[in-house]
Amino acid sequence: MIKQVLIILVVLVTWSCKKGETQKEAFALEGVIEDYHVLLEAVNQQDDKLYVVNFWATWCVPCVKELPDFVNVYNENKDKVNFEMVLVSLDRSSDFETKVKPFIAEHQLTPPVVLLTDVKRMNEWIPAINKAWSGAIPATALYKNGKQVYFHEGILSYEELKKLIQ
């Protein structure tokens, strides 16, 4: 009887370990980010993942217009181990609890959302994201294996975003 229980435990442990290998880990960033370097480090990984980073704000009409397309693309790809998306809010830090979080709930934003509050160094981190970026939002950057592979300032449609990911 003890031998059978041990065999069952070994099988269960082995099965759960193998199952864990195929499960996707949660994206490392969440909440408020005070230093843009943290964001860049999170998306500049040598892990063969495609990182989609969208810069937006609750007060930005074009941003709000494109968010449902980002949510749809995220929902279609979220279980893929080689895909990550993060929505980077550029709202004021004082608005995180009162505006950003309610907006996330109301609009059912399923991708991870972070608030970047590094406003004193905007003239440093905007060109660090992309030298051609004027700072206007929405803006989207794609990273893979430590390199930016695409950047777009302005609205991206569902079709455009889906094509970029493929």
CB of 76 closer than 8 Å to CB of 98: no
Assess contact for 79 and 24: CB atoms under 8 A. yes
Q: Is the pLDDT of residue 20 over 50?
A: no
- Pairing label, strands 31-33, 139-144: unpaired
* pLDDT one-digit tens code per residue, 22-61: 455 666 667 888 888 888 898 888 899 999 999 999 999 9
Give the predicted TM-score (pTM) of the model.
0.83
Q: What is the pLDDT of residues 114-161, one digit of tens each?
A: 999 988 888 999 999 999 999 999 999 999 999 999 999 999 999 999
Supply the pLDDT for residue 109.
95
Write out pLDDT tens, residues 80-123. Answer: 999 999 999 999 999 999 999 999 999 999 999 999 998 888 89
